[in-house]
Structure 1
């Protein structure tokens, strides 16, 4: 029978202990990831950007000021800031939920027909998601916890 012996030196033991700790109790690191995702999502509202960095199609109200002060047209999906203010996360039993608390969030995220008799077709404006930028930051947060 073949055998392999591994001799750990330096701080390898403490790093392995941290890995074991976070595998069993990941809520703290997940909460930090959730807080960062919240901040990233709210910041992207001000840039009118999807998680992948692409620009949202500008709304008529943002473009023309229709229904708003025409001298201050505003930003898409931020008329009252209710949607941006509803960005939240929850960590429980090793699971992270990140999303929006408003019932109408899905129609803006995915797009589709809405309104009276479904007369209005809203374009998709992705709000929540993990793309390259978010994945890199998540990996960095995890790495920081393990060092």
Structure 2
């Protein structure tokens, strides 16, 4: 693996577009300022790939860019603000726990409806798409 990567190589390795990489740079999301090679082109390191991977996980988990930027700023500052970093990540973890619980409830309802339609199809019942099976009383929407 080369120590110096082009923006195209980073895009290929991370799955991010060149446009997104430039956007992240403008938004202050990258851990270190992007260096420039002798030709003036952006050059990246393996550490940049590792940081981008973390940022991609945070974005995929719905962390807002502003929070990622703040986390990045804290990391750049170095030692002494670990408590603030921890608090930021704990808040995001709580958000994810809530989201996972909500998604689990959604999955329960969808699994129920899939079962209803599978039973209808297995029984050879006519198409009830205009009049779907009602929800049980305890699952009626609020």
- Fold similarity call, TM over 0.5: no
Greater helix proportion: 2
* Length-normalised TM-score, structure 2: 0.24
* Length-normalised TM-score, structure 1: 0.24
Greater strand proportion: 1
User: In terms of Rg, which structure is larger?
Assistant: 2
Q: Which has the higher contact order (CA 8 A, sep 6+)?
A: 1
